[in-house]
Amino acid sequence: MDRHDVLSELAERLRAWWPVPGIAISVVDGTGESSFVTAGFANAESQAPISRRTRFEIGSVSKTFTAFLLGILADEGKADLDAAVADHLPWFAPNGGSRAITIRHLLQHTSGLPAGADAMPDAAARGYALRHARTWAEPGELFHYSNEGYNLLGLIVEQVTGQSLADAMAERLLRPLGMRDSAARIVHEDIAELATGYRFLRDDRPPLPSAPLAPAGFFEYSAADGNVLATASDLGLFARMLLGQGTLDGTRIIGPERFRQLLTLPADPVDSGYACGVDVEEVGGHTWLTHAGGMVGYRSYLAVDTDGGHGVAVLTNAPGECQIIDRFARHVLAVVQGAPADPALFDPERIPDARRYVGIHGTAERRIRVESTGDGRLSLTSDGVTGRLYDSGDGRLVCDHPGWSAYHHSWDGRWLYGPESPGPDPSTPTASRHPLAGHYRSYTPWYPAFGIVQRAGRLHMVAATGVEAPCDEPELVPLDDGTYRIGADPRLPERLTAGPAPDGAVLWVDVDGCRYTRSFRDRPEP
């Protein structure tokens, strides 16, 4: 079986197991595109096929483009990566003007700024809203992924070039690379050749691998954290530039010294594998450059082995939180370089390290029995009914048991499932229920809904879906100013503020500027 057939079979197997309407794969080496594979549909309703010219939103892979654009501008003498952000955006004065944040801090996600509230759709407004931000980590001290930081980088590009981000990026990257079917902004005029994005039909419960999808809808986007739409073959050209250390087919895109600087990891104590706009990893003695991208309705992944001499671009119109795409793309790169194809890596019934979950968990009032059914598969039995546990693709599990499907399942030395768990039925009201406990939602498509639950007397945020929703179910830590820090680490910047509670239950909360109201459906129904 030749490579094309092997990759086609892997793609079809992925689609059979996971909600992936369509997928396009470009495999490249230093000389060109060696394989181009598609499976599924650009539009599931019309069953329109994916072609070479089908575009996808590539999400945060755009950050790699933004970083290289800043590197090119540095080569042109228009930007200094170690200059303070306030040198270019004078209104940006976080922490009362102290703790100077530089362009490099933004590029490396070490600014200490919040990840992003997704409360406003436009780049300029989003950036200006951060003018008086407060951080709790010194710049360069903590790796904390921030979409807002990259949005600021786009505003800096516009300030130093006098152009829109889209025009500056097209002039210095897309056109020199020959990315003729790509664009550096997402507008309505692009819809005709854009694959239809898909979201999970329900956003209030963890999706099973067979979960139904619905068209995600379309909105325009131009911010530098996710502004690029591309074809797989075009993204393969960018991968070839990375293989060429800044050069593609004899055309120098960025200077060799600047290329090396962009791939230099930040110094300790950050201890991060993220350089400037790209993850730099050691895999089997080789250096891999990678980045994942999630948009509302799209998941993408770029992976380049600079020592092995190959790169892959994988674009899909699967839900943006579908992290199994990342695992798939990495396996494609390994297979291209000689590893045996193993579709079982994507079998959602095969649970990594399944043995650690086996046992009886909970109390006499609410107990579950988790058993191994062989080959990494697990079942969950409760109240005489047995369901199957599945890999969710993000480090947690989901279950089709009717009484245990409302939340993700995870393990940290004890079984975690929504509230105090397996413990009492979370639908049972108790006198000790915290006023914040409940289910909240907003109109943002990035992180539409979450629950606040109690575990061992502590509050946690748990989200079923959402491109920007956290998978670690962070603790809400009460602070002296009446707000809650989202996450246990005292250096984290995200804050939740509770609204009024006239009847003992909070009506709304504010998460870094985005308001969520208590849902009339306080707990997802089976």
Interval 80-123: pLDDT, tens: 999 999 999 999 999 998 889 999 999 999 999 999 978 888 99
3-state secondary structure 398-421: EECCCCCCCCCEEECCCEEECCCC
Quote the pLDDT of residue 524. 58
Quote the pLDDT of residue 421. 64
Average pLDDT along the chain: 94
- Chain centroid to CA 157: how far? 24
> In angstroms, what CA-CA distances link 508 with 497, 500, 504?
9, 7, 12
224, 160 contact by CB (below 8 A): no
Quote the pLDDT of residue 14. 97
Quote the pLDDT of residue 309. 98
Quote the pLDDT of residue 141. 95
The pTM assigned to this predicted structure is: 0.96
Quote the pLDDT of residue 295. 97
Domains of the chain with CATH codes: 3-46+53-60+164-207+217-253+291-346 (3.40.710.10), 354-417 (no CATH), 438-518 (2.40.128)
Quote the pLDDT of residue 424. 54
Q: What band does 260 get if pLDDT is binned at 50, 70 and 90?
A: very high
Looking at the chain, how many residues does it have?
526
Q: What band does 433 get if pLDDT is binned at 50, 70 and 90?
A: confident
| d(C-alpha 226, C-alpha 219), whole Å | 12
Interval 396-418: pLDDT, tens: 999 999 999 999 999 988 899 99
Does position 519 have pLDDT exceeding 60, yes or no? Answer: yes
| d(C-alpha 161, C-alpha 223), whole Å | 16
What would the mean pLDDT of 234-248 be, rounded to a whole number?
Answer: 98
Cis peptide before 419 (omega within 30 of 0): no
111, 140 contact by CB (below 8 A): no
Interval 313-353: pLDDT, tens: 999 999 999 999 999 999 999 999 999 999 999 999 999 89
- Chain centroid to CA 119: how far? 17
Does position 384 have pLDDT exceeding 60, yes or no? Answer: yes
Side chain identity, residue 129 = A
